[in-house]
Amino acid sequence: MNIDMSQFQDTFLQEATENLEELEQGLLALESGDSADMNAIFRAAHSIKGGAGTFGFMPISDFTHTVESVLQMARDGELDMTADLVTALLASCDIISEMVDIAKAGGDTAEVDTKDCLATLQKFEHSDASPATDANDDDSDDNSDDPFDDGLAGLFLDSEWHITFKPKPHLPLTGSDPVNILRELKTLGIMKTIIHTEAVPTVDKLFPEELYLWWEIILTTDASESDIKDVFMFVEDDADIEVKKHDAPAQNVVQIEEPVKEEKAEPVATPMDDRREGEDRRKKQDRRQAPAGKEQQFIRVAIDKVDNLINLVGELVTTNAMVEQHAGNEEQNDTRQQQLISALQDMSMHTRNLQESIMAIRMMPVDFAFSRFPRMVRDTANKLNKKVNLVTDSGQTELDKTVIEKISDPLTHLVRNSVDHGIELPAERAAAGKPEEGTVTLRAFYKGGSVMITITDDGKGLDKEKIIAKAIENGVITSADGMSDTDIYNMIFESGFSTAEVVTDVSGRGVGMDVVRKNIQSLGGSVFIDSTPGQGSTFSISLPLTLAIVDAMATKVGGEIYMVPLLSIVESIRPTADMIQQIQGNSEVLNVRGEYLPLLRLGSAMNTPTDKYQPDPTQAIAVIIEAENEKLALVVDDLLGERQVVIKSIEKNYQSVEGISGATILGDGSVALILDLPGVIKLSKRDGRFQVPEAAAPKVTQQETTPSTEELS
């Protein structure tokens, strides 16, 4: 019978990626002196090798076999886990990762050049192991062709077990291979296998898709009965299995020395066993798991199915808003109407709970984004001859899966930037009275309804004078007079900006920081910098929890409705004439308790004709917002209340619109635009829309005292 294994390959490749992450993190922990489970590291490599062999990715299996052999020697104490060995094993992780990526794309994994890495690993493999102790030595002649006999007659283990394994005839149809199960059992100790053939029919009555054999096994092992039964976990419904202490040898049976004809067959983990091991490891690492004593189960769900579910819930939220609006428009003085209103309120609450529960499915620990950086910091520091310690603190913070995927590249650039530009060379740090080893700290935490991620280094900090000089040289500014430290630091995000004196393969070309800010802003987030010369710098990133649904304030400007994200709103006020002042020609500021804020009419920013909106701020409402670490007063005609809105992409359905992050459908079926506040600010500064529209000029009073530049900053 031919079983189509392609349906399982995607699952294997995904799990191979997860096992690679565990393998890499374990190796880095060993090198840094942290506690690490060598058995878990070995099992990760073993799972990759076994699964690759099962699903036909033989180049991956063959290469990982050598990695596994080296890890086994280290686990058994035959090799010291030196820095050189860790470096070689990490290089092998890179090669396996490349192979897995090629396999995901449907390419040929045999095209990957593994020769140099294999040669390095084999030097370690044969450096200390003697022929007498090397289980993989080709000269070993003790039952070398028997995949079920280790040939370790002198090894003492605690217990001897008698195992009966009687598969039902239909077992092959389930996709399970009894030979792989026996090979997995062999990894627990010394095994003798007895095969029963009495049920095999004559050729004319034999069905190729059925199994007629069954086995008795004598297993000497220090594993527990539970460990033995776990090997048969996924076939226990399709086989008769008995595990008991061995009393006497079985009678009337034929012992087969070579049940499978193949050269030096290696123990191959079944895909189901590897999946179980991988799942157990993930449960141990998952901080969100239930308290001890409560078993938590997991299933794999394709991300497009989750996205479809979220879209359906979004439509439900919109429909619920429509029903509420129409019900509220009727007279509410009869009992039936009141009952309808009450039922709708209950439905709204249940819809909100359903929505939050489904959104939680897409939430992932920020640890997934942080896990790539220990390796990157190690390699970058070694390349630059620096000593750098990476500290991560995710605080069990979670983000939408899409946000985590899209924030990984900006974080990578910022962390690399901290190692390259921030942390000094050991000699420089020692001369400055600092420890030779610098520290980069990655931290994530909740702040209000958003997530903050900070990248902090204890290096030399940003050089303001050098930034100013470079900005003037590049034509970004003509003078830094009146600029705050924040404005100066933010110039490093300009395209092509770099203060590096030497271009290296790590950085210095001025490419990346502008892309970092652009990518963060595309997620509805913002980034700002704080730096102290000689002490270090901190890059702070603010991100929304999800990109699918946002809490917003509905505002009206003319005949249009604009949604302002609640996270950016500080307060809203009705300005009085004495609060408004004109400065620098025709621009305005709003004095809010002694703080002067630029005043921007949203109607002007959105190119609305002045006769369609209220241009006089004293007859309108000023919404105080904070975006990109900058405050301003946004003038709107009216506030319509808080709404939870489902974000619909404008770029996918129309085109990108500056100052607009998306759209949503309101309860009456009309469309409202969702503001991209950093984009609105940038657009207005560039096009001079902070200036007073002509229709509003007579209504704005000019104060006798104009605030100075120092007061405004």
For the annotated catalytic residues, the residue numbers are 46, 68, 417
Q: In degrees rounded to 5, what are phi and psi of residue 443?
A: -135, 140
Cα four-point dihedral sign 322, 323, 324, 326: positive
Q: Which residues contact 418 (CB under 8 A, 6 or more apart)?
A: 440, 455, 456, 457, 459, 537, 539
Long-range pairs for 298-307: beta carbons < 8 A, 24 or more residues apart: 300/11, 300/14, 301/361, 303/401, 306/358, 306/361, 306/362
Separation CA 542–CA 451 (nearest Å): 6
Rounded (5°) CA angle 345-332-338 = 45
The token pair that represents 673 in the structure block = 């635009």
Q: What is the CA radius of gyration of the chain?
A: 33
Sheet holding 189-196, edge to edge: 239-245, 159-167, 214-221, 189-196, 254-255
- Work out whether strand 560-565 and strand 671-675 pair parallel, antiparallel, or are unpaired: parallel
Which amino acid would we find at residue 628?
Answer: E
Sheet holding 526-532, edge to edge: 388-393, 438-447, 450-457, 536-544, 526-532
The token pair that represents 84 in the structure block = 């050189």
Which amino acid would we find at residue 605?
Answer: A
The token pair that represents 454 in the structure block = 């900070």
Separation CA 22–CA 371 (nearest Å): 9
Q: What is the DSSP string of 22-72?
A: HHHHHHHHHHHT----HHHHHHHHHHHHHHHHHTT-HHHHHHHHHHHHHHH
* Of 634, 597, 599, 627, nearest in space to 712 by CA: 597
Whether 244 and 161 have beta carbons less than 8 Å apart is answered as: yes
The token pair that represents 11 in the structure block = 């699952």
The token pair that represents 495 in the structure block = 């395209």
7, with CB counted inside 10 A (0-12, 13-18, 19+), is: exposed
Separation CA 259–CA 49 (nearest Å): 22
Whether 48 and 16 have beta carbons less than 8 Å apart is answered as: yes
* Of 310, 443, 431, nearest in space to 373 by CA: 443
Backbone angle region of 151, left / alpha / beta, with phi > 0 → left and psi within -120 to 50 → alpha: left
Separation CA 74–CA 88 (nearest Å): 13
Separation CA 514–CA 587 (nearest Å): 29
DSSP collapsed to 3 states, 460-522: CCCCHHHHHHHHHHHCCCCCCCCCCHHHHHHHHHCCCCCCCCCCCCCCCCCCCHHHHHHHHHH
